[in-house]
Structure 1
Amino acid sequence: MVRDLRNPNWYIEVKLDPAQEKEKFGVSQLGLIPRRRVLNATKAGGSKVAGYEKDLKINTTGTWSPCRIADCPIVNIRRQGDLQQWCFSFKAGDTQFFLPQIELARALFFHSAYLTRLAMNPNGLDEEFDVQVGEDANRAEIHILPSSSLPMVVRGNPSQRRMLAWLLLDKKVRNSFQSIAQYQLTEGEVRNGRRYWPFRFDPPPLENVKMKVRGQYVRESELFFVYEIHSLKNLSSQIPKEIEFFDPKFTEQKAGKKGSSTERGGTGGPPEIDDDELPTTDADEYVLEVPEVELEFSEPAYTTRKPSDGRRRSGARKGISEEGVDDPANGQTDVSTDEPTVRGEVPAGVADGIDDQSEDSHLFTHKFEAFMAMSDLLEIKGCRIVAEEMIPLPVVKGHSKYRLPDGNPRYLFYRVLRYQNQNYALVEVDTVESEARLSTLLLKQPPGKYDWYPKLSILGRSLVKASLRWPTDKKLKQDFPAGFRRISHQQNITSSLSPTGTTALNRWMGRVYDSLAELHNTRLP
């Protein structure tokens, strides 16, 4: 890595094949260019991976040895021009691995230009965030400071927030991230007006983490040089399980959007990346489709996003609409992947390179506590709950209601009830934040074997497209010909579990049972 002493921006030196005039890229692009990846592959319509794929399990990084690429015995690896770059050398199974340190940091941390730049600043995290952990070990607050340049894409994306919370709250992970700047300060060298530094850092423990990599494998000598990390699974997080992000840039009217950003892909095809230009702070962010790293936490944290004063606000920001996704550049197709500045001239292209595979649906069941309590009461009426499932509302381009205002996924929850030898599905959707509550839907199951999941997944898609409105009676009759009923419930559903809400809960249950009995006695013509 190198930077001009008159400029704070770092660059990475790269070699391209075939050779190109440009031999260095901004450090902001580190997350986009893993080793040996074929960029802009014309046949596949995107980038292509290279090398042999292999799975391995890491017991701990505590036994790893730092070394140089020059220490790797694979002949053609030693003939390359980056022999002084730092690696980790370790054994997994019978194979000796050589993992470039910058590649591990890319997969763990460098998911945006913002984090890459922040890693080079010794006090970067403290200058951007105020972390508060109180007496409750299961809860924490992260206050995004008003001066923070955290991209809107990250603020509104639950996967990105989860990673950021892991970095900020897990002491060993935070120390690992901060070691990047510490090594940069102590090991960089100044030559001819430039500062040079072979990237180095201390890895977090990564105990019992499963990793999928690609690289060069020499089977005869059981040697493996890693080009690219594709997945890190079973990540442990020693952090509170409920984390609130307080954001001065968040208002209710940004509901369902990744901040002030355009959805991946946009309306006019993928943009052209022009990193000779700086991005501006005055245009919306364009979410770029980039190669993703699969990440999976063994115990994922639940994050939410709130206004910095803790209260919801009213009044939409001029020019931002909740539904739909407009081209932020008004026809401009050039974007820059660097960090936005007031001197910039093109929109910012922000990478969303995380594919979060964590099993986290259980973190959202609290949204349906009142619904579950109400349907449990139906047992006294002779109903038996035989199945239940949560379905995330699907992503539909041009629409936003598949997400909650804080960016978390919106779920549909259903329970299958058995009443007098007949099955029914009772369906609820999370619309707590909405002034107009969506009614509970009761659906009668037709004769024979029946799979509710695909049917209700299709129903979820229509909900998103209709901005959280159930289909018309005509459409419901077509899709659920055995019969259906819409059932209203009280406005303040979240209070139903309190002692004063018991009456409301019983009334809701009564309305459901009356509809169930009526539907049971209805015969199709």
Structure 2
Amino acid sequence: FDVQYEVERDHLEIRILPSSSFPKGALEQSAVVQLLVWLFSDQDVMDSYESIFRHYQQNREIKNGVESWCFSFDPPPMQGWKLHVKGRSSNEDKDYLVEEIVGLEINAMLPSTTAISHASFQEKEAGDGSTQHIAVSTESVVDDEHLQLDDEETANIDTDTRVIEAEPTWISFSRPSRIEKSRRARKSSQTILEKEEATTSENSNLVSTDEPHLGGVLAAADVGGKQDATNYNSIFANRFAAFDELLSILKTKFACRVLFEETLVLPKVGRSRLHLCKDGSPRVIKAVGVQRNGSEFVLLEVDASDGVKMLSTKVLSGVDSETWRNDFEKIRRGVVKSSLNWPNSLFDQLYGQDGHRGVNHPKGLGELQVSREDMEGWAERVVREQFTH
């Protein structure tokens, strides 16, 4: 990595060098990118990270040819952090045994903006008009939930990193960084993709967690999820201009009160890239808790700023604040897994068939050319759907 920080702009530049074995697929995970920014912008955090190897060298033991060590490290300053844990209390309720940390709210001021460059980030420019015929394998895709670890084989750096689903640890930064991907131009030409049948490899479901290298055999695997639970309300506010106007009408004309607003990124699911917009930036979803006449409901709106797809506004009733964080995580995954559609079967499980409704957008919303009358009609439909539950 080559890292430069500009104090005046509060801007961080991260160049991933060609010699780096860092998997490019990890750069599609918002949580990983924010963690990289945090690591390279805070020396205390870097010192903590490097202490892992130092503790390993100091404390490792080798007995009968088996090496072992008790994991430990020097934590960075944690003032203002919140840890979300699972565990159990002692019989006398005097002590609490923490068995698992499931979430971290990190009080950290990351650089305002960060530019990340990687050799794989490219954008097209006018080319010479040549035509290429490329044969594309049509081998079946293995569901990432059915991957198997092979401890004997090494990982190949040229294959995409596969994520083995596990109970994810989520992170949230008090002030995240706005991420920009620096792309280098490349000559464009006409490319014709020709499908060819490929023999199905018997190793297609096998992956390795070893450090990937050029001579590796299997696809690399990242075990365990890292969900980004950072609230991006301010950073991506411009993507929800019309939706925010809807909220304003609900408050002024229909006496609604906003209880909470949160804008979270959609997670990477399997090999899908629908969690990203066309420009490679994270696709986000906004959730707003609303109260009217003593009744509460939640509105969901998916980011369609790149024009790929426009989903209806979803109205949820019967949402339990105690389970909302887990519910919202399942919903975000469901949206990506359903190819940018609402996961209605999941909504049925969570809130019942009558606990969710879709409200169509007014015409012209994608071009932000909507009359005040149509906007008020949108708000009326939201209120009507909420009270027909």
TM-score for both structures, normalised by structure 1: 0.46
Q: Which AA in structure 2 matches 1:245?
A: I
Q: Which AA in structure 2 matches 1:279?
A: A
Match of 2:30 among 125, 135, 158: 158
Deviation at 1:336, TM superposition (A): 2.2
Distance change in 2, residues 1:151/1:440 (3 Å): same
The aligned residue for residue 149 of structure 2 is: 272
Q: Report if aligned partners of 2:360, 2:378 keep a CA contact under 8 Å in 1.
A: yes
Q: Which AA in structure 2 matches 1:270?
A: L
Q: Which digits, 9 at most, give the CA deviation of each residue in 1:111-137, with x for residues without a partner?
A: xxxxxxxxxxxxxxxxx2333334233
The aligned residue for residue 431 of structure 1 is: 304
Match of 2:212 among 340, 357, 374: 340
Measure, in 2, the Cα distance between the counterparts of 1:490 and 1:142. Answer: 36
- State the SS of the aligned residue for 1:172: helix
Distance change in 2, residues 1:479/1:249 (3 Å): farther
Deviation at 1:452, TM superposition (A): 7.0
Q: Report if aligned partners of 1:283, 1:329 keep a CA contact under 8 Å in 2.
A: no
Higher Cα radius of gyration: 1
Q: Report if aligned partners of 1:440, 1:487 keep a CA contact under 8 Å in 2.
A: no
Report whether the alignment pairs 1:286 with 2:159: no
Match of 1:513 among 342, 363, 376: 376
Q: Which digits, 9 at most, give the CA deviation of each residue in 1:155-184, with x for residues without a partner?
A: 111122222211111022223445677899
Measure, in 1, the Cα distance between the counterparts of 2:79 and 2:378. Answer: 53
- State the SS of the aligned residue for 1:347: strand
Count of matched residue pairs: 336
Q: Which runs of 5+ in 2 are unaligned?
A: 60-66, 87-96, 125-139, 345-352
Q: Which digits, 9 at most, give the CA deviation of each residue in 1:87-131, with x for residues without a partner?
A: xxxxxxxxxxxxxxxxxxxxxxxxxxxxxxxxxxxxxxxxx2333
Report whether the alignment pairs 1:301 with 2:169: no
- State the SS of the aligned residue for 1:130: strand
- State the SS of the aligned residue for 1:387: strand
Q: Which digits, 9 at most, give the CA deviation of each residue in 1:411-435, with x for residues without a partner?
A: 144575979x999987632111235
The aligned residue for residue 4 of structure 2 is: 131
Q: Report if aligned partners of 2:150, 2:207 keep a CA contact under 8 Å in 1.
A: yes
Map 1:171-186; keep pairs closer than 5 Å: 171-178=43-50
Match of 1:411 among 267, 278, 285: 285
- State the SS of the aligned residue for 2:237: helix
Measure, in 1, the Cα distance between the counterparts of 2:319 and 2:295. Answer: 14
Q: Report if aligned partners of 1:396, 1:465 keep a CA contact under 8 Å in 2.
A: no
Q: Report if aligned partners of 2:230, 2:264 keep a CA contact under 8 Å in 1.
A: no
- State the SS of the aligned residue for 1:249: strand
Measure, in 2, the Cα distance between the counterparts of 1:308 and 1:208. Answer: 36
- State the SS of the aligned residue for 2:156: coil
Deviation at 1:340, TM superposition (A): 1.7
Match of 2:114 among 243, 249, 269: 243
Q: Report if aligned partners of 1:170, 1:238 keep a CA contact under 8 Å in 2.
A: no
The aligned residue for residue 80 of structure 1 is: none
Map 1:438-477; keep pairs closer than 5 Å: 438=310, 441=313, 450-451=317-318, 464=336, 467-468=339-340
Q: Report if aligned partners of 2:335, 2:341 keep a CA contact under 8 Å in 1.
A: yes
Measure, in 2, the Cα distance between the counterparts of 1:520 and 1:209. Answer: 38
Q: Report if aligned partners of 1:402, 1:410 keep a CA contact under 8 Å in 2.
A: no
- State the SS of the aligned residue for 1:149: coil
CA RMSD of superposed structures (Å)? 6.0
Measure, in 2, the Cα distance between the counterparts of 1:463 and 1:297. Answer: 21
Match of 1:147 among 19, 24, 31: 19
Q: Report if aligned partners of 2:107, 2:174 keep a CA contact under 8 Å in 1.
A: yes
Q: Which AA in structure 2 matches 1:342?
A: L
Measure, in 2, the Cα distance between the counterparts of 1:319 and 1:178. Answer: 47
Distance change in 2, residues 1:397/1:491 (3 Å): closer
Deviation at 1:347, TM superposition (A): 2.0
- State the SS of the aligned residue for 1:237: strand
Distance change in 2, residues 1:442/1:160 (3 Å): closer
Q: Report if aligned partners of 2:52, 2:74 keep a CA contact under 8 Å in 1.
A: yes
The aligned residue for residue 133 of structure 2 is: none
Q: Which AA in structure 2 matches 1:512?
A: M
Q: Report if aligned partners of 1:279, 1:336 keep a CA contact under 8 Å in 2.
A: yes
Q: Report if aligned partners of 2:258, 2:290 keep a CA contact under 8 Å in 1.
A: yes
Q: Which AA in structure 2 matches 1:411?
A: I
Percent same amino acid among aligned pairs? 21
Measure, in 2, the Cα distance between the counterparts of 1:182 and 1:333. Answer: 35
Map 1:331-410; keep pairs closer than 5 Å: 331-352=203-224, 354=226, 359-360=230-231, 362=233, 366-375=237-246, 378=249, 382-387=253-258, 389-390=261-262, 400=272, 403-405=275-277, 406=280, 408=282, 410=284
Q: Which digits, 9 at most, give the CA deviation of each residue in 1:483-511, with x for residues without a partner?
A: 95441235455xxxxxxxxxx4xx44332
